[in-house]
Chains A and B, each alone.
Chain A
Amino acid sequence: MNLLLVEDDEGYAATLAEELRALDHQVTIAPTGGAALQIADREPFDAAIIDRLLPQMDGTAVLRRLRESGKMLPVVMLSALGRSAEKVEGLEAGADDYVVKPTPAAELDARLKALLRGRQWTAGGGGDTIRVRDITVSPARFRAWRGERPLDLVRLELNLLAELARNAGTVLTRAMLIERVWGYDFEPTTNIVDVQIRALRRKLMADGEDDPIVTVRGVGYMLRD
């Protein structure tokens, strides 16, 4: 992807850009909001990563100006603060995702890819029925099937399957799943995601079927599409 990174801390920007380039992205660094807006006018970008605390112009202000000038590219907002109020502000200003610095590049990469596949960050997602290969999930009716077989899932497992299905073919990191499926704004130290994936897998493969969930080591989980 062609990424615009708006970050005033040179050292951090350089390191993050290097990490992202190692993951096959092209990265342009803009140290201020003004520079970012100018660069965005000249060149098309697939997505942008904007730091909240910028000199002169706040990250949300940059975002607002981008949106006002018709640039609807996906934006992930970075912040050193973790306050829920600020996250809500950032999302309301038009950010598609809000992440607390520092976040591993792999995490940013996964989130950007998920955004690019057109899935917006929504709490809990919609209730429409999702179909991925032989798996059908209907969150609104609280039911799921593998082929003809109804799956006996508790609420958490159903929501987890729905989120994976909605983003089929994209890797969802543990942090993303904790945010979207568990609804937590903190990171537990125990591996609650892994345990839940394991339980879900068991139920999905109860009749001897193959494993539709792919574990991407060091990054997260993905539902095969």
Chain B
Amino acid sequence: MPALRSLRSLTLAFLAAFLIAVALTGFATHRAMQRAIVDLVDKRIAAISDDILRDSPPGDARAIAAHIASVSRERDTGDIGMMLSDARGRRLAGNVRLTRPLPRGYATLASSDRIAGLSAGRALVRDAGGGLTLTTIAETEPIDKEGVARGRPYLFGFGAIVAIVVIGVVLFVSLVSRRIGEVRETARAIIDGDMQRRLPVDPAGGAFAEQAATFNRMLDRIAGLMAEISNVSNDIAHDMRTPLARLRGRLALIARRPEAARLHDEIAEAIAQCDALLAMFAATLRIAEVEGGDRRAGFASLDLGALVAEFGEMMAPVAAETGHRLVIGRCDPARVSGDRQLLSQALMNLVENALRHTPAGATITLDVADTGNEAALTVRDDGPGIPVAERARALRRFGRLEPSRNRAGHGLGLPLADAVARLHRGALTLGDAAPGLIVTIRLPLDRA
């Protein structure tokens, strides 16, 4: 899906942001849980040490020790670790032993403190009066590896959320890209000349269905406009060619009359001018037909090199008639998909242009080169060429360049060749052969 680059980066950015948000949320929730547990434990050990110290006179080690003992015997406080120590830190009573001195207040204990049965916990160290210190300890993880067990629901829960979201996004993106692909395919078919194509419209409605329906209405409008243009062009063909034909017919009949014998040449010239007009007409209609795109339907695979070589062989003696030299250069075999007749016509136009616009003695060279990804057909002459500034005009219909205005030909040869190149999904360019003109038609190779 290379064309969906921005959709993909959007999707990836969303997924990245989502994953970060989920991770942060999971982390924060976990931490909050931890803090809550620590708070609860802190409150518990505070309450128990309160109980012990409240019931004993301050500084009375024996009373305190007795309370410690009774607390540790009771079931709901049997897990509490307590230690009474003197001012020098010596342990006087209790059921735990500390390996390191703890400051007054709360502290966190871990398995490195090597208190039997404790993997993680909290300690509260307070003054018991008379220089005595009471330390109360409780576990924050009463069951070993509880942390890992507690972590697992997070993994599964958030993991499931992430999986669902990723799947949902992937499905969404694939749906959108499928719709986009449909539009692109339909547009491509239309461009190729299949005017009947339309997008499928989901009868259930929705944003995609509305877009498809609107797109189809646009295509209907385009098809309608094209039909109108085609009708206009048909009408012109019918309505204008016919009077011209009538005129020509009338002249031909006049030429047959005996009294017209002495005007024979003038009448022949008039008939020739009619024919030139009709040829211009035919060329215009042909360009319109080529630009319509319908002829793509009849494309077949052909060898451009062979076509040009045969053409060159045939045209060489024709060129010799006017003192020109037609040379067949290299003609690589090059498979293209196209219309044999249109390509021959384009080639004929280019060669006839060269014959018409170069003096006797000039050389015209035909080449076909396979450049790997396209076929390049060149018609090169060593005549006067076309100045850079006038090349664009030469490609326009009827864009005759000044000096040639009086010569035969209707000025539509290049525009037709250009239209044929474009129909074949290629391009025509004019260049300087130094000296002379070089016309290049590049066509994509047929990969089939």
Contact = CB atoms under 8 A, between A and B. Distances in A.
A186 B256 contact: no
Interface in A185-206: 185-192, 195-196, 198-199
Interface in B237-291: 237-238, 241-246, 248-250, 252-253, 256, 278-279, 282, 285-286, 289
Interface stretch (A15-23, A27-35, A60-68, A165-173): A15-23
B242 A186 contact: no
B289 A195 contact: no
A18 B253 contact: yes
Given A100-B282, A190-B352, A191-B318, A84 B341 contact: yes
Contacts of B228: none
Interface stretch (B57-65, B89-97, B184-192, B309-317): B309-317
A19 B318 contact: no
A81 B348 contact: no
16 contacts: A9-B242, A15-B245, A15-B250, A80-B237, A81-B237, A83-B294, A84-B289, A84-B341, A85-B294, A100-B282, A104-B248, A184-B345, A186-B341, A190-B348, A190-B352, A196-B314
A105 B252 contact: yes
Given A102-B242, A184-B341, A188-B348, A19 B252 contact: yes
A101 interface: yes
B344 A101 contact: no
Contacts of A11: 242-243, 246
A186 B234 CA distance: 19
A83 to B, nearest CB: 5
Contacts of A140: none
B245 A81 contact: no
Interface of A: 9, 11-12, 15-16, 18-19, 22, 53, 80-85, 100-102, 104-105, 154-156, 183-192, 195-196, 198-199
B355 A82 contact: no
Contact of A102 (B241, B321, B340): B241
A12 B318 CA distance: 36
Given A15-B253, A83-B289, A184-B345, 13 more contacts: A53-B238, A80-B234, A80-B242, A81-B285, A82-B282, A82-B285, A82-B289, A84-B289, A102-B248, A185-B341, A186-B345, A195-B317, A196-B317
B298 interface: yes
A29 to B, nearest CB: 14
Contacts of B243: 11-12
A80 B241 contact: yes
A105 B243 CA distance: 15
A62 to B, nearest CB: 17
A61 to B, nearest CB: 17
Contacts of B250: 15
Interface in B190-246: 234, 237-238, 241-246
Task: Please give me the 8 A-B residue pairs with the lowest Cβ-Cβ distance, nearest first.
Answer: A102-B245, A15-B249, A80-B238, A80-B237, A186-B345, A195-B318, A80-B241, A185-B341
Given A19-B253, A101-B245, A191-B321, A84 B234 contact: no
Question: Chain B's interface: helix, strand, loop or mixed, by majority?
Answer: helix
Interface centre among B238, B278, B310 (most CB of A within 10 A): B238
B293 to A, nearest CB: 12
Contacts of A84: 289, 295, 298, 341
A11 B250 CA distance: 10
Contacts of B244: 102
Nearest to B285: A82
Contact of B279 (A81, A101, A185, A187): A187
B352 A189 contact: yes
A6 B250 CA distance: 19
B409 interface: yes
Contacts of B234: 53, 80-81
B1 interface: no
Contacts of A191: 318, 321
Given A84-B341, A189-B408, A195-B317, A104 B241 contact: no
Contacts of A100: 282
A18 B250 CA distance: 9
Contacts of A155: 310
Interface in B390-424: 408-409
Interface in B334-389: 340-341, 344-345, 348, 352, 355
A166 B310 CA distance: 24
B431 to A, nearest CB: 24
B264 to A, nearest CB: 12
Contacts of A104: 248, 252
Contact of A101 (B242, B298, B348, B408): B242
Contacts of B295: 84
Contacts of B279: 187, 189
Nearest to A185: B341
A184 B347 CA distance: 12
B289 A12 contact: no
Contacts of B289: 82-84
Given A12-B242, A80-B238, A101-B242, A192 B282 contact: no
Given A80-B237, A184-B341, A15 B246 contact: yes
B360 to A, nearest CB: 14
Contacts of B286: 82, 186
